[in-house]
Amino acid sequence: MRTWDSDSEVEEEEDRSPLLGEQDVAQGNIQYRIPDKVPACCSARYNLAVLALFGFFMLYALRVNLSVALVDMVNSTSSQQVNSSASVCPDHSASPQVPRNTTGKKYDWDADTQGWILCSFFFGYILTQIPGGHIAGRFGGKLLLGFGILGTAIFTLLTPLAADLGAGYLIAVRALEGFGEGVTFPAMHAMWSSWAPPLERSRLLSLSYAGCQLGTVVSLPVSGLICYYLDWIYVFYIFGALGVVWFILWFFLVSDTPQSHRTISDSEKEYILSTLKHELSKDTDVPICAILKSMPLWAIVVAHFSYNWTFYTLLTLLPTYMKEILRFNVQENGFLSALPYFGCWLCMIITGYVADLMREKFNFSTVAVRKIFNTFGMVGPAVFLLAAGYTGCNYTLAVVFLTLSTTIGGFSMSGYNINHLDIAPS
Closest CA to 185 of 211, 203, 166: 211
Closest CA to 211 of 42, 384, 65, 49: 49
- The contacts of residue 378 (CB under 8 Å, 6+ apart) are 303, 306, 307, 409, 412, 415
DSSP symbol at 74: B
Cα dihedral angle (189, 194, 195, 196), rounded to 10 degrees?
A: 70
Give dist(CA 410, CA 60) in Å, integer.
16
Average pLDDT score over residue span 383-387: 92
Give dist(CA 343, CA 407) in Å, integer.
5
Does pLDDT of 101 surpass 90?
A: no
Here the contacts of 363-372 (C-beta below 8 Å, separation 24 or greater) are: 363/16, 363/17, 363/18, 365/15, 365/16, 366/15, 366/422, 367/15, 369/202, 369/414, 370/414, 370/415, 370/416, 370/418, 370/419, 370/422, 371/415, 372/415
Q: Per-domain residue ranges for the chain?
A: 35-94+104-423
pLDDT in tens, 310-340: 888 888 888 888 878 888 877 788 788 888 8
Backbone angles phi, psi at 31, to 5 degrees: -120, 140
| CATH value of 35-94+104-423 in 3.40.50.10860, 3.40.630.30, 1.10.150.250, 1.20.1250.20 | 1.20.1250.20
Closest CA to 415 of 189, 192, 205, 133: 205
Give dist(CA 57, CA 243) in Å, integer.
9
**Would you state the pLDDT for residue 33?**
53
pTM: 0.74
Per the rule left: phi > 0, alpha: psi between -120 and 50, beta: everything else, 140 is left
pLDDT in tens, 8-48: 443 444 444 333 334 444 444 444 455 566 666 778 888 99
Instruction: pLDDT band for 426, please (50, 70, 90 cuts).
Output: low
pLDDT in tens, 333-380: 878 888 888 998 889 889 988 998 898 888 889 899 999 999 999 999
Give dist(CA 342, CA 218) in Å, integer.
9
**Would you state the pLDDT for residue 155?**
96
DSSP symbol at 36: P
DSSP sequence for 221-236: HHHHHHHHHS-HHHHH
